[in-house]
Amino acid sequence: MKRFFIAVLVSLFLLPLASVVFAAGGAGPDKSMLKGVLVEINEAEHTAVLQKDGTKELRNLIIGEKVRPEDLRLHKKVLVSLDHDAGENVIKDISIMFMDMTMKKLLSLLTIGLVGGILSGFIGSGGAFVLTPAMMSLGAPGAVAVASNMCHKFPKAMIGTYKRWKYGQVDLKLAATMAVTAIIGVQIGVMIQKYILNQWGNDGSNLYVSTMFVIVLVVVGSYVALDAYKLSKGNKDADAGTPKLALRMQSINLPPMMNFKVAKVRISAWVTIPVGLFTGMLAATIAVGGFIGVPGMIYVIGASAMVASATELGIAFIMGLWGSIQWGLSGLIDIRLAVLLLATSLIGVQLGALGTTYVKDYVIKIVMAATMLIVAVSRGALLPGYLSKFGLVDQLTPATAAFLDGLSFWALITALGVAGFISTGAMVKGMIADRKESKLHIVAEADRA
């Protein structure tokens, strides 16, 4: 308990400090991106007046050709990206920052929060890949969805880490080492995301997020699936041996060498650096850092799926806090989304965390692979739509667009359902077996007495 709180306190002091030092590097709103409220719209002359956020400064803007009239709303906080190629003050893209909260949206957020929480507690990560696209489909701009998810992720990860640390599954040293390198990755990731938003607006940001989602999820997901399949075919009771790649990495004797006691690994710091770096980059840009971090720790570093998924929660806390400060400096966090997700995810994450004490190591891999691959289908279905907005593929017919949207939506629901079903099923099965065992134990003791 004491060690855990010291670790949390150190992160709390160091991160804001480091954040200020790094602030010049990436934080702060983009120059070509405006945040404010439209106070006047003249559709006939294609002009609008924007009052910049936090100031009384008014700016006259020209409504670009690609802007849809329904996106222009008076007295609502909006994110505007400008089209410098078309001239000065021409709106390229505009989106409402804070979506109107309806009962349907509220219930959706609570539901995905719960399942996302269970997944996070169970496989160390996994809320984000569902939550970010879900918030985007509910109407949040890409950057706001990533920022709000980040702000919901770190408190959830903190609670999850605490629980799994109590179960003896978190390697705090490995988490700290990975997090330090991952923070540099986060910095790079935030800069890339901002550059893309700046250059290509929300459509560009959406296209980038979706493309990265699909590539990472398909490649890593297939690898984990293959491994989980082999393990499920073999002896289920035996824990998986250390993967070949990890054994080779552990044999590299390049100082400084590090000992990770909980993970039971001795490995060169030079191996953990790239794994941490990529985890951070992906976490900041597309919020699925865990899908590089956990397989990285399993297949490259050589930790068990149990320790890797638990340690990932610790990394997610530190990186999530760092990322939230960065996104907060740009003023892009919709706190309503963050706390609504937390309402159920804080229950889910503790449920998932205690669930791991009832299952075998390979079950974690199965849940991870299944969710990654199904979500890849969901995001992949959206790619043609985003590509057509850039003229890279032909305009989609309304029927095709509707079909792809439906496919994307149902794949996401399927991913949530499958992941929730496998993890909860395995958890309940483990609990029932455990209860039977303790009953037998009590009966045996009574007999002996």
Give the binding site for other proteins (CB under 8 A): 28-29, 35, 53-54, 77, 97-98, 101, 151-152, 154-156, 158-159, 163, 166-167, 321, 324-325, 328-336, 338-339, 342-343, 346-347, 350-351, 353-354, 357-358, 430-432, 434-435, 438
d(CA 334, CA 142): 12
Q: How far is the CB of 194 from other proteins (least distance, A)?
A: 13
Tokens 């706190």 locate to 335
Q: How far is the CB of 77 from other proteins (least distance, A)?
A: 7
d(CA 168, CA 281): 28
Closer CB to other proteins, 75 or 244, in the complex:
75
Length of the chain: 449
Cα distances from 239 to residues 107, 329, 359, in angstroms, run: 39, 45, 11
**Do 200 and 66 touch, CB atoms closer than 8 A?**
no
DSSP states of 307-336 as a string?
HHHHHHHHHHHHHHHHHHHHHHHTT---HH
Closer CB to other proteins, 265 or 351, in the complex:
351
Q: If residue 43 lies in a helix (H) or strand (E), which one and from where to where?
A: none
Closer CB to other proteins, 230 or 429, in the complex:
429
Closer CB to other proteins, 16 or 234, in the complex:
16
Closer CB to other proteins, 206 or 330, in the complex:
330
Phi-psi region of 359 (alpha: psi -120 to 50; beta: other; left: phi over 0): beta
Q: How far is the CB of 196 from other proteins (least distance, A)?
A: 19
d(CA 189, CA 283): 8
Token representation of residue 247: 């054994």
Peptide bond into 398 cis (omega under 30): no
Q: How far is the CB of 309 from other proteins (least distance, A)?
A: 15
Closer CB to other proteins, 96 or 419, in the complex:
96
Q: How far is the CB of 325 from other proteins (least distance, A)?
A: 6
What's the number of CA atoms in the CB half-sphere (13 Å) around residue 367? 36
Closer CB to other proteins, 121 or 302, in the complex:
121
What are the E-state strand segments in 47-202?
A: 47-52, 58-63, 77-82, 90-96
Query: Which residues does 117 contact at the CB level (< 8 Å), separation at least 6?
Result: 127, 156, 344, 345, 346, 347, 348, 349, 350, 351, 352
Q: How far is the CB of 58 from other proteins (least distance, A)?
A: 18
DSSP states of 274-307 as a string?
HHHHHHHHHHHHHS-THHHHHHIIIIII---HHH
Strand partners, 91: 63, 82
d(CA 75, CA 2): 49
CB atoms within 10 A of CB 15: 19
d(CA 374, CA 42): 45
Closer CB to other proteins, 35 or 379, in the complex:
35
Q: How far is the CB of 74 from other proteins (least distance, A)?
A: 15
Token representation of residue 217: 């999820």
Tokens 């923070």 locate to 183
Closer CB to other proteins, 110 or 404, in the complex:
110
Q: How far is the CB of 4 from other proteins (least distance, A)?
A: 14
Closer CB to other proteins, 196 or 332, in the complex:
332
Closer CB to other proteins, 79 or 383, in the complex:
79
Q: How far is the CB of 30 from other proteins (least distance, A)?
A: 12
Q: How far is the CB of 183 from other proteins (least distance, A)?
A: 16
Q: How far is the CB of 358 from other proteins (least distance, A)?
A: 5
